[in-house]
Amino acid sequence: METNSNSASSKPSASSLRWRILSRAVLHRAKNPEDESQLGMKLISRKAAKGFNLIPCQLLNHDHESRDAQFCYTLPTQGCPKLVLTQRLNNNADLTDFEICNRHNVDNTGIVCQWPSEDVLAYYCLSHADMFRSKRVIELGSGYGLAGLTIAATTEALEVVISDGNPQVVDYILHNINTNSGAFGETRVKPMKLHWNEKEVSNLSHTFDVIVASDCTFFKEFHKDLAQVTELLLKKPGPSEAIFFSPKRGNSLDKFLEEIKDNGLLFSITEIYDTEIWNRHQQFMNGDESWPGYEKDHCYPLLIRITR
């Protein structure tokens, strides 16, 4: 992603936003050592403690000398393979992470935890497998790659590219692709380091039938680049579309969709797109304590479909 060099009196820079998010993870490590006894499932991934929990996951192993752990995701459709993902321990960043994200001019949220909208995206793709069959697909800002791996393992897509702008995250993606390679059948699956501010993508411009992304419209500083790379990657001529899942978060989503229009693209917004997801949303709104502080504006992802 591209940073923003605004003056001190303007909106926060991308760098300052990264510090806000990652400092929480670094400061967490300074707590009393007795807190380590609480490390269990709830600290491995934010998805285990809160989220829509649409795809059951189980902790397989955790080496206490490592910042990583392995999870097994059981896709909730009969006959689907299980997926094993290696992920960073939640709230377990260090100064190296800050240095890398600043050196590569990227956002680092994908390595902090698995974000709830990724679970929704993976579940939706699993429930709409036909739209990916024999298609070229790319996931943007994928984090650990759950949605992209789900598409690769269940939809008979021709090709799935799982991308992120952070080289550390791309290393996790490559590892997770290799771990699950036996689940992909004839589908070609590969990782890619992709900055949204790239104006040309060798051999990939205007070649993808479907783009998918989740929780990628959070920072307004990155809206222009994200909209431009979406237009760049969508196939033409011929039908193609992008499937984004994102909460409104004030006017953040609206601002992103203004950039989508400025790039000559069309979009639709759907609030109720899946009965199970909507029911869980209603439970959280009615006080389900498994997701403390749940708010529709910041937590419930809307379905955005973008076309030419």
- Tell me, what's the pLDDT at 85? 96
Question: Which residue ranges make up each domain of the chain?
Answer: 105-307
Q: 19: Cβ–Cβ under 8 A, 6 or more apart, which residues? A: 98
Cα 183 to the center of its chain, rounded Å: 21
List residues bridging with 307 in a β-sheet: 241, 266
- Tell me, what's the pLDDT at 196? 93
- Tell me, what's the pLDDT at 23? 54
- Tell me, what's the pLDDT at 266? 98
DSSP E strands in 30-167: the ranges are 57-62, 68-74, 82-88, 136-140, 159-164
Domain 105-307 fold: Rossmann fold (3.40.50)
List residues bridging with 270 in a β-sheet: 303
pTM above 0.85, yes or no: no
List residues bridging with 73 in a β-sheet: 57, 83
The pLDDT averaged over each successive group of 10 residues in the chain (308 residues) is 40 52 50 41 40 92 87 95 89 62 58 80 97 98 95 98 93 97 98 89 90 94 96 94 97 98 98 98 94 94 98
